[in-house]
Amino acid sequence: MSRSADTWILTAQCPSRLGTVDVVTRFLKESRCYITEQQSFDDHHGERFFIRTEFRPLEPDFDAEAFQAAFAARAAEFEMAFELTAPDARMPVVIMVSKADHCLNDLLYRYRTGQLPIEIRAVVSNHPDLQPLADWHGLPYYHFPITAETKAEQEARVWEVVEETGAELVILARYMQVLSSDMCEKLSGRAINIHHSLLPGFKGAKPYHQAFEKGVKLVGATAHYINDDLDEGPIITQGVEPVGHADDPEDLVAKGRDIECMTLARAVDAHVARRVFLHGRRTVVFSR
């Protein structure tokens, strides 16, 4: 279901406690706000409650600051952390790439056509190859080469771009470098990576060729938040595509690219729509 142009988003989480749904819905009713969509989840293992609500103010003079101040007083009783997102919010983003262009091209198309409510502030790469694509879209392109000896310096320059652009999300759209522990910590909860996910798992060079040799019947991709464990961060979305004995390695690569694009786009969309809650090493993801 697409979000209406005039709806706000209220997201919150707190310890599991009686009345958590009521404190949200009752407050919205008293504030003359009509709920258009609501999803909640209570993790009885972790004793943690999560809720996401879209609503439309019925009064034309809706005051977001007054709303947040009043709700904070109610939420305090439940130790509830919350966030209010305006209808016209567009999340500032920096995209990191290497040489592969399929994920970047897909994100740029969705950005240009308004499918993703983001504002791409810059594209950063360790190679110059994709600058023409960024130039065509009128986006700043930063080429920061990297070697084992210059890794710390290169990441410092990347971090400068993130800070200067005010990026709230960093998208690793097939950025083929492992981020340092320090960079992972700085970007915790706000950097999404995409990688191939095949059954069984294939690491190293030419994963789709390895998959072909093993006769796999599925190719896939996983989009996840980065952390200090390589390709093992909290998962946001996953996708799979069936393949058969008639598919050669090039077919697997092509199908793999398609599913990588789709899976990454879904993860970015879920993040910017505030449908994802980090919950330890896991995520709570409310479906669209």
Q: What is the CATH number of the domain that holds 38?
A: 3.30.70.260
For residue 110, what are the domain limits?
Answer: 91-285
Condensed to tens digits (0 to 9), the pLDDT of residues 206-223 reads 888 888 888 888 889 999
Residue 84: which region, alpha, beta or left (left: phi > 0; alpha: psi -120 to 50)? beta
Say what the pTM is: 0.92
The arithmetic mean of pLDDT across residues 10-35, rounded, is: 97
- Asked whether residue 1 carries a pLDDT value surpassing 50, the answer given is no
In percent, the amount of the chain with pLDDT more than 70 equals 97
| Residue 192 included in any domain | yes
Q: Is the pLDDT of residue 90 over 90?
A: yes
Neighbouring-strand partners of residue 56: 34
pLDDT(64) > 90: yes
Which residues are known catalytic residues? Answer: 231
pLDDT, the chain, mean: 93
Residue 1 lies in a domain: no
Relative to beta strand 218-225, strand 235-242 is antiparallel
DSSP summary character for residue 4: P
Chosen domain end from 85, 108, 140: 85
Do residues 44 and 123 both lie within one domain?
no
Residues 242, 123, single domain; the answer is yes
Q: Is residue 281 part of a domain?
A: yes
Q: Are residues 13 and 128 in the same domain?
A: no
Helices 249-272 and 102-112, interaxial angle, to 10°?
40
Shared domain for 99 and 184, answered yes or no, is: yes
> Domain check: are 146 and 262 in the same one?
yes
Same-domain check for residues 210 and 236: yes
Ramachandran class of 174: left when φ > 0, alpha when ψ lies in -120 to 50, beta otherwise: left
Which one of 36, 66, 85 terminates a domain? 85
Instruction: Specify whether 212 is located in the same domain as 268.
Output: yes
Cβ partners under 8 Å of residue 57, min gap 6: 8, 31, 32, 33, 34
Domain boundary among 55, 85, 115: 85
Can you tell me the mean pLDDT for 42-49? Answer: 93
Domain shared by 115 and 210, yes or no: yes
103 plus 74 within the same structural domain: no
Are both 29 and 95 inside the same structural domain? Answer: no
Domain tally for the chain?
2
The CATH number given to whatever domain includes residue 101 is 3.40.50.170
Is there a single domain that holds both residue 81 and residue 119? Answer: no
Peptide bond into 200 cis (omega under 30): yes
Helices 64-75 and 20-30: crossing angle in degrees, nearest 10, is 150
* pLDDT tens digits, one per residue of 118-152: 999 999 999 999 999 999 999 999 999 999 899 99
Which has more confidence, 237 or 206? 237
Task: Read off the pLDDT of each residue in 7-36 and give the average, rounded to a whole number.
Answer: 97
Same-domain status, 97 and 81? no
Q: What sign has the CA pseudo-torsion 141, 185, 273, 73?
A: negative
Q: Could you give the CA distance from residue 172 to residue 163 in angstroms, rounded to a whole number?
A: 16
Q: What secondary structure letter does DSSP report for 86?
A: -
Name the helix (H) or strand (E) containing 285.
Answer: strand 282-285
